[in-house]
A and B are shown apart, each in its own frame.
Chain A
Amino acid sequence: MAEKPQIADFSGDKYKYGFVTDIESDAAPCGLNEDIIRLISAKKNEPQWLLDRRLKAYRHWLTMSEPHWAKLKYDEVDFQALRYYSAPVQKVKPKSLEEVDKNLLETYNKLGIPLKEQEALAGVVAVDAVFDSVSVATTYRAKLAEQGIIFCSISEAVQKHPDLVQKYLGSVVPYTDNFYACLNSAVFTDGSFVYIPKGVKSPLELSTYFRINAKNTGQFERTLIVAEDDSYVSYLEGCTAPQRDENQLHAAIVEIVVMNNAEVKYSTVQNWYPGDKDGKGGVYNFVTKRAVCRGVNSKISWTQVETGSAVTWKYPSCVLQGDNSSGEFYSVAITNNKQQADTGTKMVHLGKNTRSKIISKGISAGFSNQTYRGLVDVASNADKARNYSQCDSLLIGSTCGSHTVPYIRNRNKSAILEHEATTSKISEEQLFYCMQRGLSAEEAVGLIVNGFCKEVMQKLPMEFAIEAAKLINISLEGSVG
């Protein structure tokens, strides 16, 4: 057998979604200070209590320093060089899709989200599309409203449902939580708000496509999902970003509150620009995602497919407060070229009979580095808590790195915790077997990797699963040849 036969680099496949939409932007000057925060708040016509919260968060942020414990190396972010507010200019709010800026719709079409078709394809997905910082189009609202479901942008929710927002915003991720969450609490511009009333099962899968546009705009989304007793919702989030040379910062917060017997499924496909093959450009992704199972028998499930971003720092967490509540985390993370990802989850068991499951699949190729970092914490009252964690890593090529850093804390004797991890590579035999049957090296790797990730992919909603499988193949292009 030849020495390292298949492993060579022919990376160079252009990022398919790298383009900039040319529309007028109403942007704030670069830099961050209290005036900018007041400006954001004023632009969005926010009530005083929200401005006060923002300012409080900003003042706290000034006392914090950027964390460096993750296995990530990147240039320092100059927070004063970023623009904290940028909204597409619209004279009148569109009432229907026809009124939305044509350029904007074109952008989504390139991304493969045919908004127009969706109305025709009744009942597939409702999309609250965020273009930079302001929601521009929300579909299917009428249908959801019939059932009392609120699905709108967070700025709209602030205006229309201030009680709900005031009650839940920051209740899961307080502004003091961490450096990036604190920054987000001060400057968040938009995001989604979902409220599922008691006993309602959402008839649609709610979906948001985020997209970063306009140069130097840090995007700070804020998502809040509240599922009342006996309700159910599945929420999809998907991301792409245009090709750029400067690094773009993204620091989002997702908060989820799950009450008695309710269930929330949150799925993400993240495909932001990862930078070119030399690691130039790409998105910095520092996200705080946390769900709290407040009620008994509540359930939260995170599923993520992470293929993009130059730097990923993301730990979707579950706080299992209610008795019998359960949390799940399914993740596929793929890094290629010079990408870096430090990602994982936290499962905090507080209630009795709480269960959690972690399935993490990491694939590193090229010169990338990937870390699974997870915490399983069982409090002394969490009788009969149960956790199962499995972290598998696949290395493609000898220049990448794969790391596993699980933290496991147990203070209850009836708890049963298990953790397993393996690291391996695609063997020459597997490749040879596939290629002998007529597959190209690249197809073979795609097939093997998709098999490796199958457990997670099965958890994705149908529309996403197809997209994600394609994404895996695209992400690994050039890693084997």
Chain B
Amino acid sequence: MSLLQNINLWGDDIPYLSGLREKNRISFEKRGLPDSKTEDWRFSYFKQDDMQNPVIDNEPIKCEGHCHSNDKLPFNALQIRYCNGKLHIEDWNLPNGVVIKSLIEAVYDGDIKSYLNKSFNPDDFPFAALNGAYLEQGLFILIERGTVLSEPLYIKYHNSADKNRLCNIRNTVVAENGAKATVIEHFCAEENAVYTQNVVNEIFVGNNAELNHYVWQNEAKSAHHISLNSVQVKSGGNYSAFCANGTCKFSRYESYVRLLQSGAAAEINGVYKLSETEQVCDITTNIRHLSPHTYSNQLVKGVAKVRAKGVFQGQIHIAPDAQQCEGHQLHRALLLNDGAEIDCKPELEVFADDVKCSHGASSGDLDKEQIFYMQARGISEDEARKILVDAYLNEVFALNKNPDISEWIKEQF
């Protein structure tokens, strides 16, 4: 079955929306799914057959138990839910200065027009183009000028096992000048569910605004998860993201950040832990310093066991004349078995001379001395390894600004 299925979507009668869908559809048709020859996907790609013929489900939402009540979280949060790729619209009790709408509603109201599909070129991102061809499900979140959200926005995506779905979700998050917010994305599913999650987040961070973005990707084992976070940061703005990956068969977390004006900063941190055969987990970042005095930092750490494959591709791009920028990147990985694989491509693209850029990558096993040290103190080798792996990943968790959220993810990770 083709991935471009002819189905009726909400809003087909709106020329603006159907035009966007058409543009993305053409873009996807032109390139198709990426394969080993696609440079950005050469380490991590899958064949369409692996998805086992998913359907685009346009039946109305059928909510079950998990969707009705709020999750018990160790912190207060405003909760929003997706059920099988459909946004669960309810009466959100919104604080002042926050607007949350469904994508369709935002299209009808017109306030999404200056943002939707504006932050990237679908020709460069095949799955985002596929996502764009089905623009329907999604959120529009607007944090108005100067609003500081005390509670995080918690978005939960849940998939059930009854059907193999391809869920295309498009969220647009706008933090206006001086706004501050935290967004948590939590992906989960019934244990034996098979589905493909294809999420695109377009994030706009205004002058001196701050957005913290947490992604806890806890998908079902047989799922495919592809997400693109396309971010624009303006003067003095700060975007920081953290992702914890590694439960499903194939996952790719991609961050495409453009630092548009001076003083803009971004931080991308991630961890992955792989323990299933043939599992693939990819973290790809592309940080584009387009103005002088922009800053970025990345730290990604991973652990791979059995025949799993961990991939990190990071790019720091410094545009011509973007002087006095700073970009740092570090990827470290542990291979706990022979046969596990770590592929890494830390890339620097520098067109200005007065900059500070560095990248580093390392991979290897745990330090035998450290294991011995613990064994000498009565800790078994297995236990020692576990402690060391936890400590290894802890470095990334410790960078998170919100300790409650960080702890909550770490406990389940």
Is B19 on the interface with A (CB-CB < 8 A)? Answer: no
A400 interfacial by beta-carbon distance below 8 Å: yes
Q: Is B211 interfacial (CB 8 A cutoff)?
A: no
Contact at B361–A406, with CB atoms within 8 Å?
Answer: yes
| Chain A residues within an 8 Å CB radius of B347 | 403-406
A410 touches B356 (CB 8 A): no
For the complex formed, measure the closest distance between the CB of B108 and the CB atoms of chain A, giving whole angstroms: 45
Closest to B345 in A: A407
Which residues of chain A are within 8 angstroms of B348 by Cβ–Cβ distance? 393, 402-405, 421, 423
CB-contacts of B269-295 with A (<8 A): none
Q: Which residue of B lies closest to A385 (CB)?
A: B364
Q: Which of A419-442 contact B (CB under 8 A)?
A: 419-425
Residue of A nearest to B336 (CB): A413
B351 near A401: Cβ-Cβ < 8 Å: yes
Bound complex: CA A425 to CA B43 (Å):
33
Interface bits A449-462 vs B (CB < 8 Å: 1, else 0) = 00000000000000
Cβ-closest chain B residue relative to A369 = B351
A402 touches B321 (CB 8 A): no
B227 beta carbon closer than 8 Å to chain A: no
**Of the residues A380, A393, A408, A410, contact of B350 by C-beta under 8 Å:** A393
> Which A residue sits closest to B342, measured CB to CB?
A410
- Expressed in whole angstroms, the Cα–Cα distance for A413 and B341 within the complex equals 9
Q: Does B320 contact A (CB under 8 A)?
A: yes
Question: Is A412 in contact with chain B by the CB < 8 A criterion?
Answer: yes
- How many chain B residues touch the partner (CB < 8 A)? 37
A399 vs B350: C-alpha distance when bound (angstroms): 10
**Cβ–Cβ contact B346 & A398, under 8 A:** no
Residue of A with least CB distance to B310:
A410
A415 to B342, CA, bound (A): 11
Q: Mark A372-398, 1 if CB is under 8 A from B, else 0.
A: 000000001001000000000101111
Q: Which residue of B lies closest to A71 (CB)?
A: B349
Number of interface residues of A (CB under 8 A): 35
Q: How far is the CB of B291 from chain A (nearest CB, A)?
A: 14
Q: Does A166 contact B (CB under 8 A)?
A: no
Contact B320 A399 (CB under 8 A): yes
Residue among B323, B343, B350 facing the most chain A CB atoms (10 A cut-off): B350
**Are B338's CB and A411's CB within 8 A?**
yes
Which interface residue of B338, B359, B361, B363 has the most chain A CB atoms within 10 A?
Answer: B363
A412 to chain B: which residues have CB within 8 Å? 335, 338
- Tell me the bound Cα distance from A419 to B323 in angstroms: 25
Q: Are B354 and A398 in contact (CB under 8 A)?
A: yes
User: Which residues on the B side are within 8 Å of A407 (C-beta)?
Assistant: 343-345
How far, in whole Å, are A91 and B333 apart by their CA atoms in the complex?
65
In chain B, positions 334-377 with a C-beta closer than 8 Å to chain A are 335-365
Residues of B within 8 A of A52 (CB): none
Cβ of B13 within 8 Å of any chain A Cβ, yes or no, is no
Instruction: Report A-chain residues with C-beta under 8 Å of the C-beta of B346.
Output: 404, 406, 408, 419, 421
Determine whether the beta carbon of A410 is less than 8 Å from that of B341: yes
Cα distance, A389 to B121, chains bound together (Å): 34
Verify if B39 is at the interface (C-beta below 8 Å from A).
yes
Contact A422 B363 (CB under 8 A): no
Across the interface, do A409 and B350 meet the contact criterion of CB distance under 8 Å? no
Given known A-B contacts A398-B320, A408-B345, A411-B340, A425 and B353 have beta carbons under 8 A apart: yes
User: A420 contacts B360, CB within 8 Å?
Assistant: yes
A404-B348, A405-B345, A409-B343 known; A419 and B360 CB under 8 Å?
Answer: yes
Find chain A residues with CB under 8 A from B335 CB: 410-413, 415
In this assembly, does A105 line the interface, its C-beta being within 8 Å of a C-beta of chain B? no
The distance from the CB of B314 to the nearest CB of chain A, in whole angstroms, is: 11
The answer to whether A406 and B345 have CB atoms under 8 Å apart is yes
The docked-state distance in angstroms from the alpha carbon of A27 to that of B352 is 46
For residue B304, give the distance in angstroms from its CB to the closest CB of chain A. 9
Within the assembled complex, what's the spacing in Å between the Cα atoms of A403 and B354? 14
Q: What A residues does B352 contact at CB under 8 A?
A: 395, 398
**Given contact pairs A395-B350, A415-B364, a sample of 16 additional A-B residue pairs in the complex whose CB atoms are under 8 Å apart:** A393-B348, A398-B321, A398-B354, A400-B351, A401-B350, A403-B349, A408-B361, A411-B339, A412-B338, A413-B336, A417-B363, A418-B360, A421-B358, A423-B348, A423-B358, A425-B355
Instruction: Mark A residues whose CB is within 8 Å of B.
Output: 69, 380, 383, 393, 395-425
Q: List 28 A-B contacts (CB under 8 A).
A: A380-B338, A393-B350, A398-B321, A401-B349, A401-B350, A403-B347, A404-B346, A406-B344, A408-B342, A408-B344, A408-B346, A409-B43, A409-B341, A410-B335, A410-B341, A410-B343, A410-B363, A413-B335, A415-B364, A417-B361, A418-B362, A419-B344, A419-B346, A419-B359, A419-B360, A421-B360, A422-B357, A423-B357
Q: Closest 6 interchain pairs by CB?
A: A395-B353, A416-B364, A413-B335, A425-B353, A408-B344, A404-B348
